[in-house]
Amino acid sequence: MDLFFTREDRAFRDEVRAFLQSELSPELRRRVEEGRALSKDEVVGWQRILNTRGWATPSWPKEWGGPGWTAVEKHIFLDELHRAGAPEPLSFNVSMLGPVLIAFGSESQKSYFLPRAANLDDWWAQGFSEPGAGSDLAALSTTAVREGDHYIVNGQKIWQGMAHRADWMFTLVRTDPQAPKKQMGISFLLIDLRSPGIEIRPIITIDGRHEVNEVFLDNVRVPIENRIGEENKGWTYAKYLMSNERTGIARTGITKRILQRIRTEATSLPASSRVIVLTETARLEAELMALEFTQLRVLASMTEGVPDPRSSMLKIKGTELRQDASELLLRTVGEDAREFTYEGEDEAPHDIASNFFTLRAASIYGGANEVQKNILAKTILGQ
Ligand SMILES: Cc1cc2nc3c(=O)[nH]c(=O)nc-3n(C[C@H](O)[C@H](O)[C@H](O)COP(=O)(O)OP(=O)(O)OC[C@H]3O[C@@H](n4cnc5c(N)ncnc54)[C@H](O)[C@@H]3O)c2cc1C
């Protein structure tokens, strides 16, 4: 493939930039750039603006409301969004649940849930991890037992991002505890979070934010028609979802924005320190450019709808670079990073220190980086 953007790609990039210029409010841009938590209304409002333009679901096929972009166009779009300080479409809805529904959902599940997910009429949470099942996700023990035309679900999930805002949760449950392998006997269920028997408890993380939660399920009744695909085949659908989740996780545009901020902050440093900071910034920029080319190569060679195991590489390098950039920013501003404010329930503390702490988790969620290295060793190096 051509690693440089074609004239059409550049024209597309200009179109995205013009759109962001006219549609993204300065207030929303400022809040994203300052790393503040966005309110539910802000996230929903922005996604609806994208949806009206037909851009809320970059990776969905046209048939289901996607824009029909090439891999390069998808990359350009997300990169421009991140650079401009615009929120990306809610990943739980758009890059996790959506592709699974399109590939494995029934016609009625697709026609009901997909338009609602695109327009954020439903906010989805991911109910995969459990206290005893993180990296070893197949060890999950939440059970779903059939009773007539319902499953009765019991168990505990943990680390559910934004579950306190969500309407629905896609989840993995054990439907056959006798299955010979732990990856078997798992099913993929869609659970309405307003169902009786669900309790959502907040977890406040070191950055002072409330993003993650524990979800307790006590005799929750879930209609059988809310199962995706076949019973006991949930692991296949989950693997597909997780690989899609990793492809978009490099988020090069966010790192570019942090590096740009470092360049701005560095102007107020004494010359000797400035040289050190700018040298380090240039090194990160070079690595970021290499990552971006790798991402384009992976995206271009991916057959439509078939996740590529090399997405694990993007996840590892993308998160490492974001972490390195946020650490360099922290070092650049020095003791100013100590200003650490908390503004109440729906507001997160903002600023550089909080974002530095937030990004420590990026190498853990979406599958810990150590585990991504195992995936690369097995699927690509054949070890
Ligand atoms: C901020 C945040 C948001 C999250 N959001 C969600 C969400 O919305 N929904 C959801 O379901 N989950 C979510 N998670 C959970 C996340 O997917 C898990 O934290 C992750 O899979 C790791 O699992 P664990 O925390 O149980 O750690 P463990 O699996 O116990 O791992 C602990 C350490 O051991 C290492 N390790 C484990 N196994 C191996 C191995 N085989 N080889 C080498 N090293 C290994 C890991 O790399 C890690 O460093 C979130 C987590 C965080 C921190």
Task: Enter the tokens of residue 240.
Answer: 């597909």
In a domain, 116, yes or no: no
Q: Choose among 33, 81, 6, 36: nearest CA to 261.
A: 33
Which atom of ligand 1 approaches the CA of 162 most closely?
A: 8
Region 51-69 average pLDDT: 95
Query: Whose alpha carbon is nearest atom 31 of ligand 1?
Result: 135
DSSP string, 123-151: -EEEE--BTTBSTTGGG---EEEEETTEE
- Structural domain including 261 reads 246-381
CATH number at residue 140: 2.40.110.10
Question: Tell me, what's the pLDDT at 270?
Answer: 95
Region 197-223 average pLDDT: 95
Question: Tell me, what's the pLDDT at 317?
Answer: 95
pLDDT tens column, 116-170: 999 999 999 999 999 999 999 999 999 999 999 999 999 999 999 999 999 999 9
Task: Enter the tokens of residue 267.
Answer: 């102007």
In a domain, 112, yes or no: no
In a domain, 306, yes or no: yes
Which atom of ligand 1 approaches the CA of 366 most closely?
A: 17
The pLDDT mean for the chain works out to 91
- List Cα–Cα distances, 64 to 16, 45, 60, 61, 248, in angstroms: 21, 21, 6, 6, 20
Residues 198 and 259 in one domain: no
Query: Whose alpha carbon is nearest atom 23 of ligand 1?
Result: 134
Question: Tell me, what's the pLDDT at 1?
Answer: 45
- Evaluate whether 307 touches 243 at the Cβ level (below 8 Å): yes
Question: Tell me, what's the pLDDT at 298?
Answer: 80
Q: From the CA of 94, how far away is ligand 1's center (Å)?
A: 22
Q: Domain boundary at 177, 208, 234, which?
A: 234
- Mutating to test ligand 1, I would choose from 371, 373, 378 the residue with most ligand atoms within 8 A of its C-beta, which is 371
Domain count, the chain: 3
Residues 182 and 155 in one domain: yes
Among 27-36, 141-150, 371-380, the range with the most confident prediction by mean pLDDT is 141-150
Q: Which residues' Cβ are closer than 6 Å to ligand 1?
A: 126-129, 134-135, 159-161, 212, 361, 364-365, 367-368, 370-371, 374
Residues 282 and 333 in one domain: yes
pLDDT tens column, 225-249: 999 999 999 999 999 998 776 666 6
Q: Is the pTM of this model over 0.85?
A: yes
- What distance in Å separates the CA atoms of residue 259 and residue 256, rounded to the nearest whole number? 5
CATH number at residue 343: 1.20.140.10
Q: Domain boundary at 89, 116, 135, which?
A: 89
Residues 62 and 132 in one domain: no
